[in-house]
A and B are shown apart, each in its own frame.
Chain A
Amino acid sequence: MREISYMEALREAIRQAMEKDDRVFMIGEDIGVYGGAFGVSAGLLDQFGPERIIDTPISEAGIAGACVGAAVTGMRPIGEIQFSDFVVLAMEQIVMQGAKMRFMFGGKATVPFVIRLPGGSGTGAAAQHSESLENWFVHVPGLKVVMPSTPYDAKGLLLAAIEEDNPVMFFEHKLLYKTKGHVPEEMYTIPIGKSNLVREGKDLTIIATSIMVPRAIEAAEKLSAEGIDIEIIDPRTLKPLDDQPIIASIIKTGKVLIVHEAVKTGGFGGEISAVISESEAFDYLDAPIRRLAGLDMPIPYNRTLEYHAVPQVEDIIEEARNLYQGKY
């Protein structure tokens, strides 16, 4: 089985989508000769030329607007926001224009674009280059929000996002770019709105997103040595949320720990917790729903402080063990 990196998987998805469909193009800062700040688009300029791999000035609102305007006139643009943090400079175009256009126009416009957003901490880039802002977009009707955690999911979800007839916010994690995994060479899609049962277990359910998925897997493997059998679900799509597998898992295990990197207050964990509380799984809970998330703070520059600002493997182990042992 062929193994490639998360970054290579993304690039392959873009390449295959552009080879298949002339309407697909890519636009962003330093995506041409430079190959993208993280290298995702390396080599694509040579293959597709500057008409379809469009390097922009530093103009995030312009990039997002270019996606909206091109999408509503029949194209399928992929916009890259160099660091997901910079999406704040493009919010108006994404939230006020792209997300609402179809609805405002009575369902008569189609606005198919993808905004790719490298996010997350762990690179020492401090507070303005390390954020996890995905939940802002979960709150916006009209958008879909996708967050792959593996190379396989990265390719399949990006191809699905490009084929999708709605705007999709596609959150990548910088620490995942070099992770490797099995990725088929042929084109395939993973349906948007479908979660992944990453690991089966009977004692406790962990719902984890993005970089927290591999950390949860590592934690679960260590805890299995202590006889704690953990189930892990990766929603993959935050909006629309595939809630039934989550509910079914909690009915089975009775305990749930939600893990994400974004700050806890107002984070996606609150939404998952509410979905569980409103569901039939509520009656099966034999411990409080727990959230393990980023501290309510900007990401610090200092390496040690940065490390402790977001959940790490040992934090997940401790929290899951406590939950399993009935300490809450």
Chain B
Amino acid sequence: MAEGKQIDTLIGGVLTKEKALDLLYKMVLTRTFEENALEMFSMGKVHGTMHVSIGQEGIAAGAGPALKDTDYLLNTHRGHGHFLMWGGDLNRMMSEFLGKENGYCRGRGGSMHIADVESNNLGAQGIVAGNLPISVGVGLSIRIRKSDQVVLTLFGDGAANEGAFHESLNMAAIWNLPVIYLCENNQYAMSMPVEKAFRVEQISDRASAYGIKGLTIDGNDVIAVYKAVQDAAKRARAGDGPTLIEAITYRYQGHSKSDRQLYRTREEVKQWQQKDPIQRFAKLIGVQEEEFQAIEKKAEQAIAAAVEFGENSPEPNVSTIMEGIYA
């Protein structure tokens, strides 16, 4: 991808300034979307539950751009950022969030099931590790069709302790399937800290149990994520099979709307905020305070416009309630 360009002009050796600014904008947009979503919740404008990724935006920013448009995404319940990085349209996303007919899933899925199969975005996931076995099927499908696609499968530290993790990684490993397992280790499975839930030092240590490559990276470092995913994709396309990437990060907010966060201290959250992925990336690419504020303002305007779009969008007609269950 650096062809035709001086490598030293690229940020981190991989990104043009233009692309980097786009990623920074999308990270800020993700955070603004989620902060706004939390606000809408407290105002009673949206219902149900929702999982925000505030503090984890660096992973989506690094992973999405490292892949091709033709690749597949299997997202998590905390996947607004990945959805945006995968080319998601903010208006249709907001409509889905508000349960409207013109949302990505006609208002039937909501935040937890948002998908866009047309762009090979195979959906967010309401069951922890539920997407891991599916990745085996996507990988097999790619191989049987003799395509050079890969599938990016996202999950959290909690999912790594589900049985589905084992079956999935083993099957993808024995068949050399083009799957990138990207574990977003945000330190807590709801309230269960990783120190209590794992005996291994690193979740990526488990890769050796399947005979595949495993690595742990700083998930708040966009360039590190980009490089790891790019490398895993290269290996997958070359027929060298799956990779398990553990990206270390932290969620600033609770698990979901009901979380009172009794399992951690404010100090701990503050310490992690010093390693904020957005601030770090802005600094890395040389965005000054004034420019950053302009980016934030642009994101706020985009969100405001999306909210207006969503709120003015039609509700599903009750007469269509049974649609979409069977083909």
Q: Please indicate which of the listed interface residues B113, B127, B138, B168 has the most CB atoms of chain A within 10 Å of its own CB.
A: B138
Residues B115 and A104 in contact, CB atoms below 8 Å apart: yes
A56 proximity list for chain B (CB < 8 A): 171
- Judge if A66 is at the interface, Cβ distance under 8 Å: yes
Q: Select which of B104, B106, B171, B325 is within 8 A of A57 by beta carbon.
A: B171
Docked-complex contact B134 and A97, CB < 8 angstroms: yes
**Do the beta carbons of A105 and B123 come within 8 Å of each other?**
yes
Q: Known contacts A106-B109, A109-B117: does B144 contact A25 (CB below 8 Å)?
A: yes
Known A70-B137, A104-B123: A92·B130 in contact at CB below 8 Å:
yes
Residue of B with least CB distance to A64? B133
Interface membership of chain B positions 28-65, coded 1 if the CB is closer than 8 angstroms to chain A and 0 otherwise: 00000000000000000000000000000000000000
Most buried by B among A72, A105, A107, A165: A105
Q: What residue of chain B has the Cβ atom nearest to residue A111's Cβ?
A: B327
Most buried by B among A65, A72, A112: A65
Give the contacts of B142-164 with A (CB-CB under 8 A).
Answer: 142-145, 163-164
Q: Is the CB of B141 within 8 A of A74?
A: yes
Q: Tell yes or no: A273 within 8 A of B by CB.
A: no
Q: Which B residues are CB-close (under 8 A) to A97?
A: 127, 130, 133-134
Name, among B105, B122, B133, B145, the residue most crowded by chain A CB atoms within 10 Å (CB to CB).
B133
Interface size grouping (class) on chain B = 35 or more
Contacts known (A61-B164, A62-B171, A69-B138); A51 close to B105, Cβ less than 8 A: no
Q: List the A side residues contacting B170 at CB < 8 Å.
A: 57, 59, 62
Contacts of A59 in B (CB 8 A): 167, 170-171
Which of A71, A73, A106 sits near B104, CB closer than 8 Å?
Answer: A106
Let me know if B325 and A106 touch, CB within 8 A: no
Quick check: is B224 within 8 A (CB to CB) of the other chain?
Answer: no
Task: List B contacts of A96 (CB < 8 A).
Answer: 126-127, 130
Whether A310 sits at the interface, judged by CB under 8 Å, is no
Complex: chain A residue closest to B324, CB-CB:
A107
Q: Is the CB of A102 within 8 A of B324?
A: yes
Mark each residue of chain B from 227 to 260: 1 if its CB lies under 8 Å from any CB of chain A, else 0: 0000000000000000000000000000000000
Min Cβ gap A241→B in Å is 14
A103 at the B interface (CB under 8 A): yes
Find A75's partner among B122, B134, B141, B164 (CB 8 Å cutoff): B141
B136 adjacent to A69 (CB under 8 Å): yes
Query: Does A250 interact with chain B (Cβ within 8 Å)?
Result: no
Which residue of A is nearest B120, CB measured? A73
Q: Which residues of B sit under 8 angstroms from A108, Cβ to Cβ?
A: 105, 115-118, 324
Contacts beyond the supplied A65-B164, A72-B117, A75-B141: 7 A-B pairs with Cβ under 8 Å: A25-B144, A61-B133, A61-B164, A70-B140, A73-B138, A97-B130, A105-B117
